[in-house]
């Protein structure tokens, strides 16, 4: 296999045999770091760009806690049965994880070289070939690590591995454009059409997101639009119709995936000592999903539903 050197990326997970992140059986690589702060994010471990400490209180043992002694920031306080972890105090030095005998403390995020990651991806080449699958780069936001992403995409191209990039679209076009040649499929988020609403619930404007989508389509790249259906936020009639009308201006866009809200990330917030903003929300029912689906299907768009 051709080597691209020792460029490293910061990764928080690699999931083999994935079937929800593009066509066929895939290996999905989760990049650390994201410029958005979506209130419904189900991968909060992907928000920060560097390694960080997560704490699972259920795995703590009673008795003396070595972690409280070695922590230079006193981020864990209390006593057995009433421990409190202050994520804001934690500087992710990792001393607690290194001294924890039960794995209650874990460091999330580690460096991988392009060669290490490519070797892992190629382990499942036979499954990609038989299912028309490949590798998906997700996150976080993959375009926050453009050098690492570029070399991974180039290696995949040389090894004839289909590539997909799952992106918010919030990145400079100067970063995205040179990588387009090695991206077979964009899994592109379309969250909120109203810019003020987008700023309120994601922390950033959608201007760059929409401009980049137009440019990617103009470049002739394959795109699947992904719409997270967040109760009371992005599932409103006004937002759904606005997205449908916007997509209608680009006839090449004929694939939409509706992603129903779920609370799969709630435990992660607790482990990160972060407040979970969506604790009172629930998934949309089948009837509501069906009505949203009809909006796009009436415009000749192929719609799939997932989470």
Domain positions in the chain are 8-48+110-306, 52-108
104 sits in which H/E element: none
- Angle, helices 237-248/286-297, rounded to nearest 10 degrees: 30
pLDDT surpasses 60 at 116: yes
- Domain 52-108 fold is Alpha-Beta Plaits (3.30.70)
* Separation CA 54–CA 28 (nearest Å): 22
- The answer to whether 85 and 76 have CB atoms below 8 angstroms apart is yes
At 76 the pLDDT is 78
Q: Answer whether residue 83 shows pLDDT above 80.
A: no
Q: What is the pLDDT of residues 154-183, one digit of tens each?
A: 999 999 999 999 999 999 999 999 999 999
Indicate if the pLDDT at residue 248 is higher than 60: yes
For range 69-81, the mean pLDDT: 78
Q: Which residues pair with 20 in a beta bridge?
A: none
Could you read off the pLDDT of 188-223 as tens digits, one per residue?
999 999 999 999 999 999 999 999 999 999 999 999
* Higher pLDDT, residue 63 or 306: 306
Residue 199's pLDDT is 98
CA 263, CA 63: separation in Å to the nearest integer? 33
Whether 2 has a pLDDT exceeding 50, the answer reads: no
Tokens representing 89 are 């105090």
Average pLDDT over residues 87-101: 84
Contact 283, 261 (CB under 8 A): yes
How far, in Å, CA of 124 to CA of 233, rounded? Answer: 38
Q: What share of the chain is helix, strand, coil (3-state, %, to 5)?
A: 35, 20, 45
**Residue 286 burial by CB count (10 A; 0-12/13-18/19+): exposed, middle or buried?**
exposed
Please state the rounded mean pLDDT for residues 253-260: 96
As beta bridge partners, residue 186 has 165, 223
The DSSP H or E segment spanning 112 is strand 110-113
Residue with more model confidence, 243 or 274: 243
Predicted confidence band of residue 95 (pLDDT cuts 50, 70, 90): confident
Within 10 Å of residue 50's Cβ, how many Cβ atoms? 10
Q: Distance between CA atoms of 245 and 58, rounded to whole angstroms?
A: 48
3-state SS, residue 216: helix
Matching fold, domains 8-48+110-306 and 52-108 = no
Q: Does position 3 have pLDDT exceeding 50, yes or no? A: no
Cα gap 134→55, rounded to integer Å: 33
Q: Is 53 helix (H, G, I), strand (E, B) or coil?
A: strand
Q: Helix, strand, or coil here: 260?
A: strand
Task: Please provide the CATH number assigned to the domain covering 8-48+110-306.
Answer: 3.20.20.70
């Amino acid at each position: 296999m051709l080597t691209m050197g020792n460029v490293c990326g910061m990764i928080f997970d690699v999931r083999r045999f994935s079937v929800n992140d593009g066509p066929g059986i895939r290996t999905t690589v989760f990049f650390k770091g994201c410029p958005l702060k979506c209130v419904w994010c189900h991968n909060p471990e992907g928000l920060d760009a560097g390694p960080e400490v997560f704490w699972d209180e259920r795995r703590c043992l009673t008795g003396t806690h070595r972690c409280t002694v070695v922590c230079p920031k006193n981020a864990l306080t209390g006593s057995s049965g009433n421990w409190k972890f202050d994520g804001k105090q934690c500087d992710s030095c990792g001393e607690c994880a290194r001294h924890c005998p039960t794995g209650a403390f874990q460091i999330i995020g580690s460096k991988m070289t392009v060669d290490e990651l490519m070797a892992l991806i190629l382990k499942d080449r036979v499954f990609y070939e038989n299912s028309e699958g490949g590798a998906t780069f997700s996150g976080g936001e993959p375009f926050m690590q453009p050098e690492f992403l570029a070399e991974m995409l180039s290696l995949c191209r040389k090894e004839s591995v289909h590539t997909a990039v799952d992106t918010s679209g919030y990145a400079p076009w100067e970063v995205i454009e040179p990588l387009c040649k090695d991206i077979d499929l964009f899994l592109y988020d379309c969250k909120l059409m109203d810019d003020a609403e987008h700023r309120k619930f994601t922390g950033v404007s959608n201007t760059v997101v929409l401009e980049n989508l137009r440019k990617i389509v103009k470049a002739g790249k394959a795109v699947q639009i992904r719409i997270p259906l967040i109760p009371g936020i992005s599932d409103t009639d006004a937002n759904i119709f606005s997205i449908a009308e916007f997509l209608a201006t680009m006839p090449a866009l004929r694939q939409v995936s509706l992603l129903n809200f779920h609370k799969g990330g709630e435990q992660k917030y607790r482990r990160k000592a972060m407040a979970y903003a969506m604790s009172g929300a629930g998934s949309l029912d089948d009837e509501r999903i069906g009505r949203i689906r009809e909006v796009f299907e009436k415009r000749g768009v192929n719609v799939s539903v997932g989470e």
